Each structure stands twice: as structure tokens, then as C-alpha cells.
Structure 1
Amino acid sequence: MKDPRPLTSAEDFRRALIELLGSSRRSLNILSEHLDRALYHDAEVVEALSRFARDSRFVQVRILIRDSDPVVRHHHRLHHLTQRLGSIMEIRKVQATVDTPDWEFAVADDRQLLVRDERHQWLGVYEADNPVRSRKLLDVFEQDWPLAVPDGNLRRLLI
């Protein structure tokens, strides 16, 4: 297990996410408020995610969001990528009745994690190898995934 790397800015998160994507091989699970543009709309992040998604036919990317309005209202690179790679990537919206944590995270390959401690601040941690904590985060994700639904607003843009 490697030491956690503290993250204190959007740029720190951007660099850490690109690193996470560059070393991942099989799976990526993201829980986010609304796919913050400072991170998930970034051209380098989306390019790294595109490379990851196309790297193997066994790759799976699942994204849970709480609020799709910011993604729908403004062009969003990650949303566009999910439209192109729909068989590999899926976005679902968490139901309003589901109590989700106030933090956000990305977990890759059941061992790498990126955690934003509070969704309104750029404070968190990147861990390149922590399967125990990754499993705990995935348990949260797996609890919400079956209750979440594809958002009609996101699908409407496919026309």
C-alpha cells in the first residue's frame, strides 16, 4: 500500500485523475454531484478517459451523478464521450430519495481511489493502491447503482 497523496486544488485532482486513468486497466466507478466542469470537462482528463475506455473490450465505466442539470445545460466533454462510447460507459442519476454521502470519489480496478472529502471544496486524497478503502467506497457505489436510473435529459441529447 502506497501513502495517500493529499489534494488541495482542482489542479491536484485533475493530475491525480489523469494518473489514475493512465494506470487503470479494467474498471472505473465515479460518484459525483454533477461532474464538476473543472475536473470532468477538462480536455486532458476526457482524453485519458477515452484512452482508458478504448484500451480493452472488457473495460467498464459507471458514473453516478446526483444532479444532471449542469451537464445538460452546458456542453460537457465527458457527457459527449459517454454518448460515443455508450456500450462501455454508462451514466445514471441517483434518485432524490436515496441518501448519498456529501463527498465524491472515483475508484479504479478495485484498488486505486480519488476522494473529494466535500463536494463543495477541492480537498481530498489520491491513493494508488488501497484495496481495502477502495472496497468500502465500491460498497457505497454498489448500494446506489441499482437504485439509480438513466436520466432522460442526458439521453435527449443523443438526437
Structure 2
Amino acid sequence: MRVRADDPQLKEVLTGAGRAGTDPRDGLVFVARTGLREWAETEDELAQAFDMTRETVAAGGAVVYVVRSAALLGRTEPLDAAVAAGLLSGARALALERRKHNGYSTVVAVADDVEPKSVADAVDLLVATRGANGQAFVLGEEHLGAALP
């Protein structure tokens, strides 16, 4: 799968997830950046996700967005939360629109204490089983007691 991730360790383990490659048909794992400070950074992040997703979807590949659980729960800076919520909305729309063509998209929401290998294992499992299509798959315990979006 094509991987867009800034964290070198996470990128390395995710590059081995699913079918390794750079072809859009292999699918996409897009890891959302955090620490966004300006709207322009947020727009750039979402635009890059959109462009890579469009290419992947046109080729028939699966799409997996990886976000921080805290961002998805609105417990981080507003711009990080906006990107996480936007990617979840995008995954839901993709799942609905692509259901007739066996399309697949999901969000993996990761707590800070989750090891990169666990993230890669989750991506492998989800893509192989088509589990949590259009939904958030949560790794860690940050979501306990919270209402998931």
C-alpha cells in the first residue's frame, strides 16, 4: 500500500502492511499530521488527503486514514480535530458511495501509547476483512467513557 506518514517508524511498519507498493490499486494509508497551527496547513493536509484518495479510488484501491484518537474526540488543538473529523467524514462518504463496487475505506484512531506495529497489524486486519467499512476503528483506551463521533 502507498503510505503517507511523517513519523519514520510508523511509515516503516505501515509500508509492510497489506500489499506493499506505490501503485494506487494497492491502496492508501494516509496518516494525518498533527500540530497544525494555521488554516493553510489544515487546508493543505485535507487537500493532500483528497488528491491521494481520488487517485486511489479511481484505481479501485482501499483507503485507510490514521488519526490520533484524541483529535477525533476533540481533545486536541481545533485544527488537528478538524482534520480527523474531516477524514472520518470522508471515509464514511467513500464507503457509502463505493458500496456497489466493493470499495473500502476506514479510519484507524490511535491513542498515544499504541505501538506502531499494532497500527500496522490493525491496517492489515481491516483491509483483509473489510472490517469497520466507513467507521472508526479505535486502538487504545482514550475513547473509554467518550461518545465516539
Structure with the larger strand share: 1
TM-score (norm. length: structure 2): 0.41
TM-score (norm. length: structure 1): 0.39
Structure with the larger helix share: 2
